[in-house]
A and B are shown apart, each in its own frame.
Chain A
């Protein structure tokens, strides 16, 4: 299954056959929904893994697709399906974090965050190391780093999603980048 033509998030393109599958799935066609799942699961799972950590990614990814199935009737085609799905996924992830009642604390501008330094690369696979380093970022900085630098959202969009000030988003992003810099130079 290729994922090259996925249209998830601000950086993605548009696929024609997906529209047909969306229409079929909205009418209750499980096979069409399965095709949508296989097309989009890589991007959604990567998002949840990077934002929540590997131990929760499978469960939350399933939750996201179940929620998608429930809400397909509300998709009106005003944006690409992938963009709509991606926003829904981000919302589910944010809800999950809020349910842990830690969102506020983690988004606070705590200077101690800078004390948290990700481990230096221990393996030859630099991509895996980089992924591992993202997971070790402080949660507030991690979400913003993933949403901004990996997924391509703007600070003003992130501020709305996370219900924080734009300035907070910028500061947390800089902290995350500085920590990742230490990792790269580790």
Chain B
């Protein structure tokens, strides 16, 4: 038996050789009965391996598996495709920009609670101002300690468990959080210019709710893994 040739026979059998090597092996096999016999034996080994039957365990293992799985909470299936996530991101970005633009730039249709520039210039009376402002909306508070604590807590849990999420999911979550934070910041700045604008207030509340919701979902997903 020629080891320099037999060592190549498995690769020959599996079609892993270059054309030149294959040609060399075949040329050798034509004149070497011993190596041809080894090749035939290897073919038998492979054929036997490929024909092995599936054999179930002698004992039924299901009872043990059931005991163990019953004690485990079935992770909730959270299926969000990348396209859905991207679409959500785009929607958030568009909504954020559109709402702020609309609230700041729209001349009519938005309930206006402050004095008109013309009224100020013409010195309208405080009594008439009060009458017009009876439906003034109290601006949302940015300093919501409970909200901030909840966000901080979820953010910490998410950071602690982020290794359990795959990189794509982490990237999507972080991108969405970034967009929501931008929306919150835009609404906050707009409200500083127009504190009584209930439209902006509700937008800010909604953006903050979205952030909390996204953090909750991401944390649930990480903890389920």
Which residues from chain A sit less than 8 Å from chain B, CB to CB? Answer: 1, 3, 6, 26-28, 30, 33-34, 37-38, 41-43, 45-46, 49, 57-58, 61-62, 65-66, 69-74, 76, 127, 130-131, 134, 145, 149-150, 152, 155, 170, 173-174, 177-178, 180-181, 184-185
Question: Does B77 make an interface contact (CB < 8 A)?
Answer: yes
Asked if residues B57 and A45 are in contact (CB atoms below 8 Å), the reply is yes
In the complex, the answer to whether B69 meets A66 with C-beta atoms within 8 Å is yes
Select which of B14, B50, B68, B79 is within 8 A of A66 by beta carbon. Answer: B68
Known: A41-B61, A76-B79. A149 touches B50 (CB 8 A): yes
**Which residues of B (178-225) have their CB < 8 Å from a CB of A?**
224-225
- Does B121 touch A at the CB level, under 8 Å? no
Among A1, A34, A177, the residue within 8 A (CB) of B42 is: A177
Q: Which residues of A contact B53 (CB under 8 A)?
A: 127
List B contacts of A69 (CB < 8 A): 65, 69, 72, 74
A73, B78: Cβ atoms closer than 8 Å: yes
Let me know if B41 and A181 touch, CB within 8 A. yes
| A-B contacts, 27 listed (Cβ < 8 Å) | A1-B56, A26-B77, A27-B74, A27-B77, A34-B62, A46-B54, A49-B55, A62-B64, A65-B61, A65-B69, A66-B69, A69-B74, A70-B75, A72-B75, A73-B75, A73-B77, A130-B48, A130-B49, A145-B49, A150-B52, A170-B11, A174-B10, A174-B11, A177-B46, A178-B42, A180-B49, A185-B41
Which residue of B6, B11, B42, B61 is within 8 Å of A62 (Cβ)? Answer: B61
Within 8 Å by CB of B56, from A41, A65, A130, A145, lies A41
Known: A43-B54, A177-B45, A184-B41. A37 touches B62 (CB 8 A): yes
Q: How far is the CB of A88 from chain B (nearest CB, A)?
A: 14
Bound-state Cα–Cα, A43 to B57, Å: 10
Is B48 in contact with A184, judged by CB distance below 8 angstroms?
yes
Contacts A70-B75, A149-B46, A184-B41; A42 near B69 (Cβ below 8 A):
no
* B49:A66 contact, CB within 8 angstroms: no
Residues of B within 8 A of A6 (CB): 54
Contacts of B61 in A (CB 8 A): 37, 41, 45, 58, 61-62, 65
State whether B54 touches A62 (Cβ < 8 A). no
Query: Is the C-beta of B2 less than 8 angstroms from some C-beta in chain A?
Result: no
**B54 cross-chain contacts in A, Cβ below 8 A:** 3, 6, 42-43, 46
Give the Cβ gap from A133 to chain B, nearest Cβ, in Å. Answer: 10
Contacts of A76 in B (CB 8 A): 79
* Residues of A close to B69: CB separation below 8 A: 30, 33, 65-66, 69
Give the residues from 11 to 66 in chain B that come closer than 8 angstroms, CB to CB, to chain A: 11, 14, 16, 38, 41-42, 44-46, 48-50, 52-57, 59, 61-62, 64-66
Q: Which residue of A lies closest to B8 (CB)?
A: A174
CB contacts under 8 Å to A, within B116-161, are: none
Judging by beta carbons under 8 Å apart, are A45 and B56 in contact?
A: yes
Looking at the complex, which one of B45, B57, B59 makes contact with A149 (CB distance below 8 Å)?
A: B45
